[in-house]
Amino acid sequence: MKVVGISGSPRKDGNTEVLVRQALQPFYEKGWEVSEFFLSSKTINPCIGCETCIETGKCVIEGDDMEFLLREFEHCDALIIGTPVYYRNVTAQLKALFDRSFVFNNRKLLAGKLGGAIAVGRGEGGGQSLALSIIHNYYLSSGALCVPCEINGLSAKADKPGDIKMQENRLRQARVLGENILKYAELMKAKAD
Ligand SMILES: Cc1cc2nc3c(=O)[nH]c(=O)nc-3n(C[C@H](O)[C@H](O)[C@H](O)COP(=O)(O)O)c2cc1C
């Protein structure tokens, strides 16, 4: 079984990447195939709104990492998407990924897959819950099922890169998110077999 961890931060080794990696740990331990798709080192250009994909099922934008990601989506059982909060929203990099998913929206490539969400902002109530809702809405629009952390998605307060590493409780909660997804994925698989 396979999980894809996505970080929407343009900042390498920032707080979001730390939390997404932490949430992926239980999957490594269970022997799942784990794919890290971190937008600090990938390029997804924004949708240009031509809507050609409605007719052809293909995007006219070529040469970036979206095609690779679509194949990852097709072959995965679960996803974890994390984002820094930017202006009470997800980052532009992550929003570009969401918009480019329009190419598969009618085919619901994420149908029945499980998704967890993580949002990190510097403020207490800095917009983390809005960013979590935006990720959860993406899952629901794509046919995926949302899995909670202890409650809702994982909301964290951190600023400078690596600040989050001092927060034992948030690191533990990121693991809980991963463990919850694993639990439900295995239950679903057992029912299907
Ligand atoms: C352009 C920009 C906008 C931001 N907007 C918010 C915001 O609305 N609310 C908030 O709490 N933090 C905001 N922040 C702070 C980041 O969310 C915070 O530094 C976070 O830890 C960055 O995550 P990263 O280390 O994974 O990149 C903003 C930062 C930047 C660069």
Q: Could you read off the pLDDT of 41-63 as tens digits, one per residue?
A: 999 999 999 999 999 989 999 99
The position carrying tokens 């202006």 is 87
The predicted model gives 108-122 an average pLDDT of: 95
Whether domain 2-192 has CATH 1.20.120.1760: the reply is no
Closest-CA residue, ligand 1 atom 16, reads 121
Write out residues with Cβ below 6 Å of ligand 1.
9, 11, 14-16, 84-88, 120-123, 126-127, 158-159, 161
The band of 109, judged by pLDDT with boundaries at 50, 70 and 90, is confident
- Domain limits, the chain: 2-192
Cα dist. 172→23, 80, 87, 93 in Å?
Answer: 9, 15, 27, 27
pLDDT of residue 105: 65
pLDDT of residue 107: 78
The predicted model gives 110-139 an average pLDDT of: 97
| Mean pLDDT score of the chain | 96
Residue 27 Cα, ligand 1 centroid: separation in angstroms? 28
